[in-house]
Structure 1
Amino acid sequence: MTIKSLKLLTVSYLLIPNLIFILTWLNPLWATLGFVVSVYSFYSFIIETNKSNEDFSALRVNRIEPSTLLYLALFTLILGVVFSLGNFGLGQSYDYYKHNTIVKELIEKPFPVVYENETRYGILKEPAILGYYMAYYLPTAIICKFVGFGASNILLYLWGAIGIFISFSWLYFLSPKNINIVLIFILFLLGATLFKPYLYAHYLLKNIVSLPMIQYFIWPSGISFNLINVHYSPQHHIVTTVGVFFVYYESFIRKDNRFVLFFVSLLLMWSFLGAFSVGIIAGFLVLFRKFSKFFSIANIVGGGIITFIMASYFLAHFQDNRFSGFIWTFADISGYLYQKPLVSILALIGYCIFEIGIYLFFMFKLFSSRSSYQNKLILLLFCAAYFIISPLYRIGFNNDLAMRLISTIKILIFILLIGAYSEMLKSKISVKFLKIYMAFTILLGIFSSMTTLKWEKVPSIAESPNINKADIPEEIFLQYFAKKNSFFGNYLMREVKTED
């Protein structure tokens, strides 16, 4: 597989659920418009990719050999079982109550899924539509509408595994040539790339010291480990890893932004917050490259219209005051910061310094030592600013946004990290320190992963309850519904016979 083949596979994989949504949820006018611009932009992407010269010395290899692809595929399938994609393996996380229930609703009910007379916990008292990140579920649901529930869990497993395989393939291409690829995969999966004293202090001292700000800040840090993302929410893992890898390669390495907006627009149906955080990185790189080749018709029209459709869909969400976790419900500064300003500020400063400050300082010294590293130094400074700003959301109650911002920037930081490791291996003085550091971070990564991951028995898709039944788990709360009486519901969505 060449890097061109991987790019085409990546965009095809992300596009398929968007096309399913556009053709089955939108009215004829918008379905036609969305389909035409999507196909046109994708066709343009294929043509430009096939014409481009992408033989970069920055890549680990020119192509991934079939034997290596087989190893990656087997590794992905094993990982998928260990972390229970599709309800296989050791057991799923509590998030899969939501996953499996939503898939069942999508299989059983006509598209779009509408609830006319539904009441959720006494707060949903008007017509609603299912309004969640559905790209991860739609391909399974559309097939099972014809073949039944029997294949649903295995299809969900395979669909998630394809996305993880794509992210691993990007990692293989972007890794430096002089670093052992096994080590890179271990570091990437464990998230063991940074010092995490808050995280470990929480686990080691939780029975001795009660400090709410520790828990307040470590959760978005801890949840960003890639193994945990696979286990709890593979759709977010796929968007953040594949999204950052693709944007970094296109904008930073190739200096070509002609499909960046179109690409980011495809991420919205997978994870609105994941797309938002990848979009921040993409926006910075577009500005950094001075809009190089950005204003192509395929990019502006295709990306713009798809973004408009998906933004209209997600902005119809009900606001859930119990779980302020979406971008349109910003952090409540009257939270812990207001009550304990000194403790909050000290905790935030400590978090930023110890979580990433030491590491960023080391990388700054490396990238500022040679004029050829000037671009990487600018990207590093952006990462530092991004990381320092993102925990501010954690002072309030916007948990999901903080988590997506932090986990996404850590993937970009990881790319810079392995580049820095590669340079250190050329220095005899640094090699011994590097080996000790890697061993230390791997041990901490194993410890933190094993203390965070949890497995439990979750009903299969066929056995999951329906949303309009009283026994639905509390994981299906208000933020998974959107208003039917909204701009999207009134002007973009097609009419459908409802089921109460």
Structure 2
Amino acid sequence: MQNYSNFLIKSSYIYIIIPYFIFFFGWLKPLYALIMTVVIVYALLVIFRELTLSGTEDVTASTEDVQSPLQNKKIVLILVILILWAACTGMGGFGYQNGDYHQRNALLKNLIDQPYPVIYAPEYVSNNSIQNIRKDFHGSLALVYYFAFYLLPALFGKFLGWRAANTISFGYGLIGVLIAAAWIFKLAGRLSVRLTLLLVFFSGMDFVGYIILKLKIPAWTEHIEWWAVFWQYSSNTTLLFWVPHQGISAWILTSLLMNEALIRRSNRHVAFITAIGAFWSVWVCVGLLPFMISSILINRKKLGEVFTFQNVIAASLIVLLFALFYMSQIGGIQKMWLWQYINIYEARQSFLLFYLLEFVLLSAVCFDKTRNLWWWTAVVSLMLLPLYRIGVINDFVMRVSIPSLFVIMFYAGNSLINPSCNKLKKVAIFVIIALGALTPTTEIYRSLTRYKITPLRLERVQELASVPNSYNYFGYTDSVFFEYIAKRNKYNK
């Protein structure tokens, strides 16, 4: 079913890239906006034309399977599971909104109310104690963050209001979840309710770690991801409930890259796929880099394919543009090695348990001699990430790990649905995943017990600058980006 496969690939690119066009014409001077738009559109046209000419093998299901009544019932059940999951996340006000939504709601409100580029009046800075501002800076601050997920809802909100923006936010998030699930089915070669449940309930064994270290059973509404204190590898449900923009983009881009490397056996788009994550999440983009390198090594006989327009020109311009944008940030983010912020000997129990319960046990059980470089890239990445810390709550470990965890999840799921897989191995994988599923269960239970079906009232949305640790949303207007590349408004003339 080549048409299905091509449709999924094209939908994924369009989903990820739509916010870029809003950013180009909202933030950049007209000439730069035009150049970036032409470059991205041309790159997409090249990719789509190649798909049409070369075709791509679809291994999802046979035509007969898709048309069978049983398969249709399976599709309906899968859709129900995913819609119910999304309806508990807090996206668009559906379900309980966890702590991070104080910042997300304020961000969306600013993107709706403020002209683009979003630059705050000087009194906004003086009226709110934003931390880490340079002593020699007395100008206006700008919004500098990876807010791709919120731009399309904000655009609708400018014309239709706050409630409409939240509705679009939920719909945009749901579509992203459906695309991510479709990728799992394509890569696995079949539609599967079990794989759908795996997407929802995949997690490390946080519940077990919590009990071992704290010697008590956590409350069912407790957020238990921080059981190891200094590190967190988030469950899929935690990602969707707390940082949907990072989870969704990571799942889709990792799938695109996996499809390019392992199914299409091509290097023609690998850098472009990695680069278009830049506006969705810096951390996800960093997490994709090792897989981009692995993809090139796997298809090293086609090394010349790396030098395409989309890889060299389009990817480079995207990375350069957003590097300059993010370099405007206020800064002051903590960066240090593991041994610089904890006594490793004293923390050895939680450190070793973190490795063991979050991925080592599952990786060991799933291992077989057929595992390729992608598998090893995921395992090695997860081994190395806890050694370095960036951010007050260690965003580096939490978010750079998302692509690697997705790869581990995919291989674990593939083992579960593979008829030739050893039964004892399947039982071990199932037990580990079942114990891990207690984490997303607590997240879902908390949402259900505090469920709301409407967005927070606009007048109750906090000012972004008043939300704790929100300084990483702001940047200086005397930077290269805002001095030479960004459009002017009344606060950065």
Pair 1:395–1:103, CA change in 2 (3 A):
closer
Provide the rounded CA distance (Å) in 2 between the counterparts of 1:174 and 1:200.
36
Q: Secondary structure at the match of 1:129?
A: strand
User: Which residue of 1 is the match for residue 44 of structure 2?
Assistant: 42
Provide the rounded CA distance (Å) in 1 between the counterparts of 2:436 and 2:29.
48
Provide the rounded CA distance (Å) in 1 between the counterparts of 2:360 and 2:433.
19
User: Which residue of 2 is the match for residue 101 of structure 1?
Assistant: 106
After the TM superposition, which of the residue ranges 99-108 and 413-422 deviates more from structure 2? 413-422
TM-score (norm. length: structure 1):
0.83
How far off its partner does 1:250 sit?
0.7
User: Which residue of 1 is the match for residue 442 of structure 2?
Assistant: 451
1:78 pairs, out of 84, 100, 117, with 84
Pair 1:192–1:383, CA change in 2 (3 A):
same
How far off its partner does 1:195 sit?
8.7
Provide the rounded CA distance (Å) in 2 between the counterparts of 1:395 and 1:101.
24
2:253 pairs, out of 226, 243, 251, with 243
Provide the rounded CA distance (Å) in 2 between the counterparts of 1:205 and 1:395.
30
User: Which residue of 2 is the match for residue 7 of structure 1?
Assistant: 9
Superposed counterparts of 1:296-335, under 5 Å: 296-321=308-333, 324=334, 329=335, 331=337, 333-335=339-341
Q: 1:3-22 deviations in whole A, cap 9, x for unaligned?
A: 11000000001111011101
How far off its partner does 1:121 sit?
1.9
After the TM superposition, which of the residue ranges 168-177 and 354-363 deviates more from structure 2? 354-363
User: Which residue of 1 is the match for residue 187 of structure 2?
Assistant: 174
- Identical positions, percent: 21
Q: 1:197-229 deviations in whole A, cap 9, x for unaligned?
A: 43553465489xxxxx95324x512xx211111
Superposed counterparts of 1:65-214, under 5 Å: 67=72, 71-89=77-95, 91-117=96-122, 118-119=124-125, 120-123=128-131, 124=133, 126-177=139-190, 181-192=192-203, 197-202=208-213, 204-205=215-216
- Match status 1:462 vs 2:438: no
TM-score (norm. length: structure 2):
0.85
Q: Secondary structure at the match of 2:142?
A: strand
The count of aligned residue pairs is: 463
> In structure 2, what residue type is equivalent to 1:410?
L
- Match status 1:419 vs 2:421: no
Gaps of 5+ in 1: 208-212
Gaps of 5+ in 2: 219-225
Provide the rounded CA distance (Å) in 1 between the counterparts of 2:248 and 2:467.
25
Provide the rounded CA distance (Å) in 2 between the counterparts of 1:363 and 1:148.
49
How far off its partner does 1:292 sit?
5.5
Q: Is the 8 A contact 1:360 1:380 kept in 2?
A: no
Q: Secondary structure at the match of 1:360?
A: helix
- Match status 1:263 vs 2:273: yes
> In structure 1, what residue type is equivalent to 2:183?
W
Q: Is the 8 A contact 1:96 1:232 kept in 2?
A: yes
Q: 1:345-395 deviations in whole A, cap 9, x for unaligned?
A: 55434433454333333344x2x2xxxx2xx34333322211110111259
How far off its partner does 1:137 sit?
0.7
User: Which residue of 2 is the match for residue 482 of structure 1?
Assistant: 475
Provide the rounded CA distance (Å) in 2 between the counterparts of 1:142 and 1:395.
32
Q: 1:47-72 deviations in whole A, cap 9, x for unaligned?
A: 11111221255x45579669466554
Q: Is the 8 A contact 2:291 2:374 kept in 1?
A: no
Q: Secondary structure at the match of 1:482?
A: strand
Provide the rounded CA distance (Å) in 1 between the counterparts of 2:281 and 2:244.
10
After the TM superposition, which of the residue ranges 76-85 and 133-142 deviates more from structure 2? 76-85
Q: Is the 8 A contact 1:318 1:478 kept in 2?
A: yes
Provide the rounded CA distance (Å) in 1 between the counterparts of 2:433 and 2:379.
23
Q: Is the 8 A contact 1:239 1:275 kept in 2?
A: no
How far off its partner does 1:80 sit?
1.9
User: Which residue of 2 is the match for residue 21 of structure 1?
Assistant: 23
Q: Secondary structure at the match of 1:98?
A: helix
Moved over 6 A (4+): 62-66, 193-196
Q: 1:435-461 deviations in whole A, cap 9, x for unaligned?
A: 4641x3354234222335644679626
User: Which residue of 2 is the match for residue 279 of structure 1?
Assistant: 289
Cα RMSD of the aligned pairs, angstroms, is 3.0
Q: Is the 8 A contact 2:144 2:329 kept in 1?
A: yes
How far off its partner does 1:309 sit?
0.9
Q: Is the 8 A contact 1:330 1:398 kept in 2?
A: no
